[in-house]
Amino acid sequence: MLDKNGIAKRIAKEVKDGYYVNLGIGIPTLVANFVRNDIEVEFQSENGVLGMGPFPFEGEEDADIINAGKQTITTLPGASFFDSATSFGMIRGQHVDLTILGAMEVAENGDIANWKIPGKMVKGMGGAMDLVASAENIIVAMMHTNKAGQSKLLKKCTLPLTGVGCVKKIVSNMAVLEVRDNAFHLLERAPGVSVEEIKKATEGKLIVEGTVPEMVL
């Protein structure tokens, strides 16, 4: 079973040379730590920066330079700043190559819910609805089950949707799955996790073909 860093490490392998990448808040933010340093990648933050760098050293924080999680950041050579409409133009216009975001629930048809729990949590969708509706290449980083052990990979989402039919790939703490033809297709198992365990933790339709390899991290 993977921890959050393990999920981020596996997702980092999907980041290719020359990609512009949008990272969501939470596990996706960790992906930047594991991207190979022999490839060129630029990270986009929806509040208006391309070419995000690491956090600043103490004393070098600039209140005017933050990421979408409102954390202080730095920029790398080649970086640029822009307004919010331009930022979402990049996203909506499919100029960003890869979007990595978290989810509370994903359904077998690719629906995703990650912004609202009625009566409990109403923080808003931020940029998530624009991202999932627009991006061609979306990877969802998530835990396979909730704290009570119930599956978060469902036949149908129970929470209010963020987008419909948009998720194509999931990296969970248990597996890598492709979402197509109204089913989760098991591609890889996390180290030490059996196909049986993944079946048990997946409420939606799961397709297992042949021998499923263990992830290489």
Give the binding site for other proteins (CB under 8 A). Answer: 45-49, 54-58, 60-67, 69-73, 81-85, 87-88, 91-92, 111, 122-130, 133-134, 160-165
Assess contact for 98 and 22: CB atoms under 8 A.
yes
33 versus 194: smaller Cβ distance to other proteins: 33
54 versus 191: smaller Cβ distance to other proteins: 54
Assess contact for 177 and 189: CB atoms under 8 A.
no
β-pairing verdict for 138-142 and 98-102: parallel
Beta-carbon contacts of 85 under 8 Å, excluding residues fewer than 6 positions away, are none
Least Å distance between CB 119 and other proteins? 8
* The pair of three-digit structure tokens given for residue 69, joined into one six-digit string: 């999680």
Least Å distance between CB 179 and other proteins? 16
Distance separating alpha carbons of residues 79 and 52, to the nearest angstrom = 7
Distance separating alpha carbons of residues 76 and 80, to the nearest angstrom = 9
13 versus 116: smaller Cβ distance to other proteins: 116
Which among 46, 105, 108, 203 is annotated as catalytic? 46
Query: Is 46 an annotated catalytic residue?
Result: yes
Least Å distance between CB 126 and other proteins? 4
Active site residues: 46
